[in-house]
Chains A and B, each alone.
Chain A
Amino acid sequence: MNAAVRLSVSSLRAHKRRFAGTFLAVFLGVAFLAGTLVMGDTLRASFDTMFGDATSGTDAVVRSADTITTPGESQGVRQPVPTTLADTLAKVPGVAAAEPDIEGAGQLVGKNGKPIGGQGPPTLAGNWITDPELNPYRLAEGRAPRKSGEVVVNRGAAKKGDLALGDTTTLRTPDPVKVTIVGLATFGGEDGMAQVTFTGMTRADAEKYLTARPGEAASIKVRAGPGVGEKALVDRLTPVLPKGVEAITGQESAQENTDMISSQFLNVFTTLLLVFSGIALLVATFSIHNTFAIVIAQRTRENALLRALGASRRQVTATTLVEATGVAVTASAAGLAGGIGIAAGLQALFPAIGFPFPDGDLVISALSMALPLAVGIAVCLGSALLPAVRAGRTAPLAALRETAVDTSAASRTRAVTGLGIAALAMAMTLSGVLVSPSLWTAALGAVLALVSFVVLGPVASTTAVRVLGGPLDKLRGVTGGLARRNALRSPKRTAATASALMIGVAVVSLFTVFGASLKATMDQTVSRSFAGDVAVSTPSFGAGGSGLSPRLAGAVQRLPEVDTAVGLGRGVAEVDGRGRALTVTDPVALERTFDLGKVDGSLRDLGTDGLAVTRTEAEKQHLTTGSKAQLAFTDSKKETFTVRAVYGRSELAGDYVITRAAWAPHRTQDADTLVAVSFKDGVDTATGKAAVQKVAAQYGNPEVQTRDEYAQSSAGGIDMMLTLVYALLALAVLIALLGIANTLTLAIHERTRELGLLRAVGQTRPQLRAMVRWESILVAAFGTAGGLGLGAFLGWVLVKASDGASDSAFAFAVPPVQLLIVALVGLTAGALAGLRPARRAARLDVLRAIATE
């Protein structure tokens, strides 16, 4: 064996404990990364298989060729095809069956009266396709719907709503439809297509409730006769299709569905996880670097002896690097195995929590093996490189020196460089935020700000620890004083240890501030532009939910307590070639319940060819009152509208407003997203709300909320997001804490004699433990304080940059309570990190400690 290798192997064996922290940091980071990749691949493959299985009987799908996609939407709205086309297609030679697929939103109400699903995945309803080969759903129990009011629901939805065969419930389409469950279905062998709920009705019911006009279908599914391939079928179908309608193979259609799920859900999900494993690994880099730096410093004498005995610089450096490689490879390999374990565990766990995770083997691609391994090894070796080079530079004479702890304060160069970077970061973020709004400049500035914090850490640590630890002397006497001074001993080490926690806390605070700002923005939006007393809406999120019945607004309007009730519907159209969302409503009533800001022109007589536009959108599209705009609807009709009003605020009313009359000829499934109600003078909110609730109960029981309640529930999704982010960041914080604990353990090793002396002259074990704990808390406090500051600043940058980049105004809010909790968590974590090192230190044998060399 090579001498360097032999030395490092024996060193690793002798100092297993020292590298335990490094090992864990690499292990956790790599496991998280590998788990994410494997799970993403596995999910993708499972969905692939599931769609493939479910739609294997469909050989071709016929649908309209054009879609209208509005900004912020991944899937566009496609215009319907006539159901009669199915009969035409059925006669084409080589076609065994052709059936229209009518699709719309339909949310079932569970046994407890609460709607099922709607918090993300779509809630769909459609016609129950009678050809079993064309129907992606299979009957598992019961029978197909035969008469109006009978439905088949997917088994997952039935389970969630506690519904059984023969039960009668309500389907919101959004008009409440009374339905009886006659069958339960599965999708690709599972209880459902992930969390998507599906209700299959008779074709007549589907045409009645799910489309604006009977005779329209989303697409037509076609099955080929024997001996006709998918490609051949498409070729035969294409000549008979009307203009604007296309045929694609079943395989292409399945692929589209998988891609849609991937882009809507999987990609977002895996990207999010990858970002957080990146943060965890970044934090790990600091911990690992610190460990190696300390270990090398402690080994100065040993290395100096090697140099004196004739080892070359290169050999000493190599020894350290080989050691790092040993840790890196074992930890990364263990992490990879751990990651695969995590993925397997989640695969087992998901079905248990009601998420039908399709069966199938774990998909472990070469990439998801190689990438985590490479990243783990690179992080570990990269972190060890500088300390290794430093080890090589050890002078042979250093063997004779007493201690080798680097107690030097931060250099001038560091201070100057750090301040330079900080100034540059400031300039970039401020210009990116305030002068010429640009997310990229702001983001680059934010990264530089982080770098400057890391560089300036050792410069700031002395002052910071002195200030933060100031109260300790009074609070804890000599124990506190000793803790504070121990934390001050090596500014570089303290800073490096704290940096890891700082990054974690900074990201946590960033999201906390951003989340609070989003909430404040919503609150401000509602309180500013919503002038009504109560809002009726269905709590939904993402693609789920079916909206409100368009007749609800009218019914509420008839209440004696109500002054105005206005329903806001949603439509899409291409305005001068660009897909845009339209608000379909009664503009006069809208003006009474919403504060639209300054209005040029009048919303009074939009008629069937009038349009109201927000000022920002009008400026972007170069529209003013009186100018004309061409709207292309999903039924491929084009009409010219005149801009009759330009209004100021868009948050709730949307960018474009047209009347119901103008929308009616082009409408799809009708639904309102919100009904705003204002009461007559003298009607108190509670009475009015109760009256509205009574009416709403007949329309599928949507939520009736006061203004404040509405504002709060609008922000509900943000809390969900924050919870997820906090859970993911816990890993980074955990790694940072391991770093603190590791540094302390190594420091205690260094101070063995001093601890022995303190014990000899009368420091009790509890006092010694408290001393170590307080040191840990101080280091954590430094990291937490830096992280809070940096996070709040970055939060501000993000809010301001978003403000500049979007039309709607963003509010900036600093949530004091949440940030205080973050600070407390940081400090508590510091205390926890100090527990083990403190216990180990207190166990020291006094005599042996004094006698230690």
Chain B
Amino acid sequence: MTATTTVRTAARVVDAVKVYGRGDTEVRALDGVSVDFPAGRFTAIMGPSGSGKSTLMHCAAGLDTLTSGAAHIGDTELGALDDRRLTLLRRDRVGFVFQAFNLVPTLTVAENITLSLDLAGGRGDPEWLDALIDVVGLRDRLHHRPSELSGGQQQRVAVARAFAGRPDVVFADEPTGNLDSRSGEEVLGLLGRAVRQTSRTVVMVTHDPVAAAHADEVVFLADGRLVDRMESPTADKVLDRMKAFEVPS
């Protein structure tokens, strides 16, 4: 990709700083991070524990607020939004896949998938939803409760829910963290296909090099700073890069 090509950004943060605590207990989780997440791409955020990768995702997705700097979804600056507008933005323009506890236990699979749409009071696009259900392969499970599904199936429902409203960007926080490798592979494959076949945008936080290898690009975080970017990653390349962090500097 050349610099002359104009790439639309689905989400970005500029000079993001997030400070927890105060005085002696002050922790700078983000220390001036600027990063773009281009539309139609699968980006992975990697870094060791405590590097600030989850905080970055939370702030970029409007789940948390920055101490200073700015976060944008599309052209919308999140800092200017109150709780209600942020909620509506999350509902209409952002999708989420969490590590665990993604589904409302009282709702069926079908209802969980359309939850955000139902909360908005809309009906969604039936054809898109129909296609989505086939992609995640849950047609025969639509009327089951989450407790009747395996962990892998639950995460696939979560993926379907995240894409149901055709959001600008889907944030995934360690989506395979609780899964065995085969189920994890399935979920990652789903995310990758969603990006490449339907031009969706995914930002995934992970600490697993194998998972990161599914992405188009990996951004590396350490101590709250953006330290590196890697195009077309493979598991080995990512692993090597990560090992560098563990060397005491």
Residues of A participating in the B interface, judged by any CB pair closer than 8 Å: 477-479, 481-482, 485-486, 488-489, 753-754, 757-765, 767, 846-847, 850
- In the complex, residue of chain A having the shortest beta-carbon distance to the beta carbon of B120: A762
A850 to B116, CA, bound (A): 17
B119 x A754 contact (CB < 8 A): no
Q: CA of A486 to CA of B104 in the docked complex: distance in angstroms?
A: 10
Q: Are B118 and A761 in contact (CB under 8 A)?
A: no
Whether the Cβ atoms of A767 and B119 lie closer than 8 Å is yes
Complex-state Cα separation, A753 to B104, whole angstroms:
10
Nearest CB in chain A: distance from B161 CB, A:
7
**A760 contacts which of B63, B105, B106, B118 (Cβ < 8 Å)?**
B63
Closest to B173 in A: A850
Contacts of B64 in A (CB 8 A): 847
Minimum CB–CB distance from B113 to chain A (whole Å) comes to: 11
CB contact under 8 A between A485 and B107, given known A753-B101, A761-B116, A850-B98: yes
In the complex, whether B58 has a CB less than 8 A from a CB of chain A is: yes
Residue of A488, A757, A767 with highest tally of chain B CB at under 10 A:
A757
Which of B88, B105, B111, B120 is most buried by chain A, counting CB atoms within 10 A of its CB? B105
The CA of A479 and the CA of B111, in the complex, are separated in Å by 12
A477/B87 in contact, CB under 8 A: no
Residue of B nearest to A761 (CB): B116
CB distance B90 to A754 under 8 Å? no
Asked if residues B119 and A763 are in contact (CB atoms below 8 Å), the reply is yes
Q: A762 near B101 (CB under 8 angstroms)? A: no
- Residues A754 and B120 in contact in the complex (CB < 8 Å), given A763-B87, A764-B87, A847-B63: no
| Bound Cα distance from A54 to B219, whole angstroms | 98
> Residue A846 contacts which of B63, B111, B115 (CB distance < 8 angstroms)?
B63
Is B88 a contact partner of A762 (Cβ separation < 8 A)?
A: yes
CB of B83 closer than 8 Å to a CB of A: yes
Contact among B58, B83, B119 with A847 in the assembled complex (CB-CB below 8 Å): B58
Beyond A478-B118, A482-B107, A762-B120, 11 additional contacts (C-beta under 8 Å) are: A477-B118, A481-B111, A486-B106, A753-B101, A754-B105, A757-B98, A758-B104, A759-B87, A761-B90, A765-B87, A850-B63
Judge whether B63 and A757 touch: CB under 8 Å. no
Chain A residues near B102: list those with CB within 8 A.
757
What is the bound-complex CA distance between A504 and B75, given in angstroms? 57
Complex alpha-carbon distance, A482 and B103, angstroms: 13
Contact A765 B63 (CB under 8 A): no
Any chain A CB within 8 A of the CB of B84?
yes
Whether B101 pairs with A757 at a CB distance below 8 angstroms is yes
Residues 75-97 (chain B) with a chain A CB within 8 angstroms:
83-84, 87-88, 90-92, 96
Between-chain CB contacts (< 8 Å), 9 pairs: A478-B119, A757-B98, A757-B104, A758-B115, A760-B96, A761-B90, A762-B92, A763-B91, A764-B91
Smallest CB separation, A531 vs chain B (Å): 65
Residue of B nearest to A850 (CB): B98
Is the beta-carbon distance between A762 and B91 smaller than 8 angstroms?
A: yes
Q: Which residues of B contact A479 (CB under 8 A)?
A: 119
Chain A residues with CB below 8 A from B126, complex form? none
User: Taking A478-B119, A759-B87, A765-B83 as contacts, is the C-beta distance between A754 and B104 under 8 angstroms?
Assistant: yes
Name the B residues within 8 Å of A478 (CB-CB).
111, 115, 118-119
Q: List, in ascending order, chain B residues with CB within 8 A of A762's CB.
A: 87-88, 90-92, 116, 119-120
Q: Does B121 contact A (CB under 8 A)?
A: yes
A847 CB contacts on chain B under 8 angstroms: 58, 63-64
Taking the nearest CB of chain A, how far is it from the CB of B30, in angstroms? 14
How far apart are A772's CB and chain B's nearest CB, in angstroms?
14
Instruction: Report how far A478 CA is from B108 CA in the complex, Å.
Output: 12
B128-175 interface (Cβ within 8 A of A):
161
- Cα–Cα, bound, A477→B91 (Å): 16
> In whole angstroms, what is the CA distance A479 to B161 when docked?
17
Using Cβ atoms and an 8 Å threshold, which residues of chain B touch A846? 63
From known contacts A477-B118, A850-B98, infer whether A760 and B90 are also in contact, taking CB-CB under 8 Å: yes
CB pair A482–B88 under 8 Å, yes or no, is no
Task: Specify which chain B residues have a CB less than 8 angstroms from the CB of A761 in the assembled complex.
Answer: 90-91, 96, 115-116, 119, 161
A604 to B13, CA, bound (A): 108
Considering only CB atoms, which chain A residue lies closest to B96 in the complex? A760
Q: Which 8 A-B pairs have the closest CB atoms?
A: A762-B91, A485-B106, A478-B118, A764-B87, A762-B116, A761-B116, A762-B90, A762-B119
What residues on A are CB-neighbors of B107 within 8 Å?
481-482, 485
Given A761-B161, A762-B119, the answer on whether A482 and B98 have CB atoms closer than 8 Å is: no
Residue of B nearest to A478 (CB): B118
Query: In chain A, what residue has the closest Cβ to B165?
Result: A762
* Chain A residue with Cβ nearest B55: A847
Nearest neighbor of A852 in chain B, beta-carbon distance: B101
B161 — nearest CB in chain A belongs to which residue?
Answer: A761
CA distance A846 to B87 in the complex (A): 10
Query: How far apart are A641's CB and chain B's nearest CB, in angstroms?
Result: 78
CA gap between A753 and B99 in the complex, in Å: 12
Question: B101 and A754: CB pair below 8 A?
Answer: yes
Q: Kindly identify which residue among A477, A482, A485 contacts B121, using a CB–CB cutoff of 8 Å.
A: A477
B204 CB → nearest A CB, Å: 16
Query: Given contacts A847-B63, A850-B98, are A764 and B106 in contact (CB under 8 A)?
Result: no
| A489-B119 contact, Cβ under 8 Å, with A761-B91, A764-B84, A764-B88 | no
Q: How far is the CA of A850 from the CA of B171 in the complex (A)?
A: 15
Query: CB-nearest residue of chain B relative to A760?
Result: B96
On chain B, the residues within 8 Å of A765 by CB distance are: 83-84, 87
CA distance A758 to B64 in the complex (A): 15
Most buried by B among A479, A489, A850: A850
Q: Which of A488, A753, A761, A764 has the most CB of B within 10 A?
A: A761
Looking at the assembled complex, report how far the CB atom of B55 sits from the nearest CB atom of chain A, in whole angstroms: 10
* Shortest Cβ distance from B164 into A: residue: A761
Residues of B contacting A763 with CB < 8 Å?
A: 87, 91, 119
* Nearest chain B CB to A748 CB, angstrom units: 14
Partner of A482, one of B106, B120, B161: B106
Q: What's the Cα separation between A477 and B122 when bound, in Å? A: 10
Name the residue on B nearest A483 (C-beta): B106
Please indicate which of the listed interface residues B84, B88, B90, B92 has the most CB atoms of chain A within 10 Å of its own CB.
Answer: B90
CA gap between A206 and B105 in the complex, in Å: 84
B116 CB contacts on chain A under 8 angstroms:
761-762
What's the minimum C-beta distance from A465 to chain B, rounded to whole angstroms? 12
Q: How far is the CA of A762 from the CA of B103 in the complex (A)?
A: 13
Give A635 Cβ to nearest chain B Cβ, in Å. Answer: 81
Residues of A within 8 Å of B91, CB to CB, are 761-764
Compute how far the CA of A488 lies from the CA of B105 in the bound complex, rounded to whole angstroms.
12
Q: Please, how many angstroms separate the alpha-carbon atoms of A803 and B74 in the complex?
A: 78
Hey, which chain A residues are within 8 Å of B120, CB to CB? 762
* Cα A471 to Cα B154 with chains together (Å): 30
CB-defined contacts of B96 to chain A, threshold 8 Å: 760-761
Does A489 contact B90, Cβ atoms closer than 8 Å?
no
For residue B105, which residues in chain A have a CB less than 8 angstroms away from its CB? 754
Of chain A, the residue at the smallest CB distance from B58 is: A847
CA distance A391 to B137 in the complex (A): 43
Smallest distance from the beta carbon of A790 to chain B beta carbons, Å? 29
Q: Is the CB of A482 within 8 A of B104?
A: yes
Residues of chain A contacted by B118 (CB below 8 angstroms): 477-478
Please indicate the chain B residues that have their CB under 8 angstroms from the CB of A767 in the complex.
Answer: 119
CB distance from A480 to the nearest CB of B (A): 11
On chain B, the residues within 8 Å of A764 by CB distance are 84, 87-88, 91, 119
Nearest CB on A from B106, distance (A) = 4
CA A488 – CA B145 in complex, angstroms? 14
Q: State in angstroms the CA–CA spacing of A120 and B21 once bound together.
A: 70
- Report B40-71 residues with CB < 8 Å from chain A CB: 58, 63-64
Report how far A733 CA is from B244 CA in the complex, Å.
67
In the complex, chain B residues whose CB is within 8 Å of the CB of A482? 104, 106-107
Residue among A488, A762, A763, A767 with the highest chain B CB neighbour number at 10 A: A762
Collect the chain B residues with CB atoms within 8 Å of residue A757's CB: 98, 101-104
Which of B103, B116, B118, B119 counts the most chain A CB atoms within 10 A? B119
- Cα A765 to Cα B161 in complex, Å, equals 21
Q: Which residue of B lies closest to A765 (CB)?
A: B83
CB closest residue in chain A, given B103:
A757
